[in-house]
Amino acid sequence: MDRLLEKVGRQDRHELSDFILDWVNEKTAEGKNWSRIGTDLAKFAQNLLNEGAYPYLDALRTLQLAEYRQLQHHLVAHKTETARQVKTLARQAVARIAQEGLSSKNFFHTDRGVYAYLHRLAREYDPHKPANSYVKQTLRENKWHTGKTIAPGLAAIQDELHALLSQIENFRQQADPLGRLIDLVQPHLHALALIQEIEAEMAYLKKENSTIHISDSNKKIAEIIAQEPVPYIYERVGEKYFHILIDEFQDTSVLQWQNLLPLVENNLASARFNLIVGDAKQAIYAWRGGEMEQLVYLYQNKPEKLLMQYAASNPLLAERYKTLSQHHWPAQLNTNYRSAAEIVQFNNAFFSSIIESDFGQQYPLLGEIYDEKFPQQVPAGAPRQGGHVAVRWVEAGPDHKTQACHSVLAIIEEMLALGYRKRDIAVLTRKNFEGTEIAVFLKKQGLEVLSQISLLLVADEKSALYPGLAQSNAQARR
């Protein structure tokens, strides 16, 4: 990043300089810290090492800085024009309401209904804030007032308001999705435009130091095997390894799998056994190219689902998947020998409820993972028993962390009341800082907490004394 930013101001890089200076000016105008541009670029540049981003980066390499600047102007102009049209219609409605001397009390659901909605749109348009259920009911049922009587002024203009509201919602139905997309793209557009410059600097540094990044190896192999039915780089390997086992397949990236596919195909063609083992619900490495769809569709023997996305970049994939389909032998391990019966029962109930919820409808792939064959069984005879699983929720909001801490405290107190010792109780958190916050909270409540993080001075209120003590010692030495 430093090498790239050092080019700002050079005579031979005036276009790059202007582009970065425009970015600085925009951040300044928005009240943001422009000095973090280098950090923002470094964070975004991690996409260059992400296998999942490779196809999109290839498409973006054809664009020049001038085209990105033009795109930026188009996006801003579109947002401005969309907001103008929505505000114009909303202000017409608000003006008619004012002319009739009406207030929120005259309208259906007062400050939570169409009155507040029109006034908000007259001030600002936000594609992320659609009409609520009250506004939709007003539009659907032409319901403008609550109670049996309607204000004369509202009765006179409700048809006009309904027409304006219909225009607004019809327009928003077309404009909002694009508006939300623009809001997602705009914050990253400058970094996206500079991705080629960053890539060039990385290539220079790798050449200068005679090194390659570990992510380059998979990409180089993929480029070779995509063009060769019998990749020469595997000639020796294919004669040595006859049986391949791939474990944790849900975390195997698409590129890694496609690179191994010629070896697997060669073994299967020679009637040699190969094994893939995975669990889609444990997929946690999507950020580095792992896709649970890959495991799901391979298990279901639906290679066409995978070919839809990748056949263009690798024309030999179809033939290789055809060989796999001919030797396909799916099996599902439904007996859980590791977990107690209570855990197995909870998992079955939890994932079943997910599929039946709106969340399952929104993400249909979940239904293919947690299908009728998914529920696990406990071993016959003497299954492991004991334990308890419960889920407690806290309300979303600015104080949700405080609520969570109090909830943890309440559970601990319940366990102590049941006769459990403190040493029997553990609190697990997803992130270290969350563990620190809970540990500090529990110590304030008089509970003894033992953990690697809670033992740090920074996690203890008493640590506030040490900076002053250290400063006094330093002054004494001087």
Q: C-alpha distances in angstroms, 184 versus 4, 55, 57, 195?
A: 25, 19, 17, 17
Contact call for residues 79 and 120 (beta carbons, < 8 A): no
Q: Between these two residues, 283 and 83, which has the higher pLDDT value?
A: 83
Mean pLDDT computed over every residue of the chain = 86
Residues 6+ apart with CB under 8 A from 16: 7, 8, 65, 197
| Cα–Cα distance measured from residue 136 to residue 159, given in angstroms and rounded to the nearest whole number | 16
Kindly list the distances between the CA atom of residue 433 and the CA atoms of 436, 440, 449, 458, in Å, as whole numbers in the listed order: 5, 11, 15, 11
In the chain, the percentage of residues whose pLDDT exceeds 70 is: 92
Phi-psi region at 336: left, alpha or beta (left = phi > 0; alpha = psi -120 to 50) = beta
Does residue 10 surpass a pLDDT of 80?
Answer: yes
| pLDDT of the residue at 387 | 82
Q: How confident is the model over 433-442, as pLDDT tens digits?
A: 898 899 999 9
Measured CA to CA, the distance from residue 319 to residue 316 in angstroms comes to 6
Q: CB under 8 Å to 452, separation ≥6 — which residues?
A: none
pLDDT for 146 equals 81
Q: How confident is the model at residue 83 (pLDDT cuts 50, 70, 90)?
A: very high
The two structure tokens encoding residue 85: 């049209």
- pLDDT, tens digit, for every residue of 291-333? 888 888 999 999 888 887 666 667 788 888 988 999 999 998 8
Are the CB atoms for 169 and 90 separated by under 8 Å? no
Structure confidence by residue, pLDDT tens digits, 343-376 = 999 999 998 898 888 888 888 888 888 888 889 9
Q: Helix (H, G, I), strand (E, B), or coil: what is residue 313?
A: coil
Number of H helices, E strands in the chain: 21, 2
450 vs 105, 412, 414, 427, CA distance in Å?
57, 14, 19, 10
Rounded Cα distance, 215 and 289, in Å: 11
User: Does residue 90 surpass a pLDDT of 80?
Assistant: yes
Cβ atoms within 10 Å of 262's Cβ, excluding its own: 22
**Per the structure block, which two tokens stand in for 375?**
């529920």
Is the pLDDT score of 205 beyond 50? yes
Amino acid at 322: K
Rounded CA separation 101/107 (Å): 12
| Candidate from 270-274, 323-327, 410-414, 468-472 with smallest mean pLDDT | 468-472
Sort 195 into a burial class: Cβ within 10 Å, 0-12 / 13-18 / 19+: buried
**Tokens 């017409």, residue located:** 92
- CATH class of the domain comprising 214-326: alpha beta
| Cα angle, residue 198 at apex, residues 197 and 203 outer, rounded to 5° | 100
Helices (H), 300-431: 303-310, 317-326, 341-356, 358-362, 365-369, 400-417
Please state, in angstroms and rounded to a whole number, the distance separating the CA atoms of residues 364 and 296: 12
Please state the domain extents for the chain: 1-211, 214-326, 337-391, 400-475
In whole angstroms, what is the distance from residue 175 CA to residue 180 CA? 9
Q: Is the distance from CB of 24 to CB of 34 less than 8 angstroms?
A: yes
The amino acid at 304 = E
Render 338-372 in DSSP notation, one character per residue. Answer: SS-HHHHHHHHHHHHHHHHSHHHHH-THHHHHSST
- CB-neighbour burial class of residue 344 (10 A; exposed 0-12, middle 13-18, buried 19+): buried
Distances (CA, A) of 83 to 130, 178, 205: 14, 12, 46
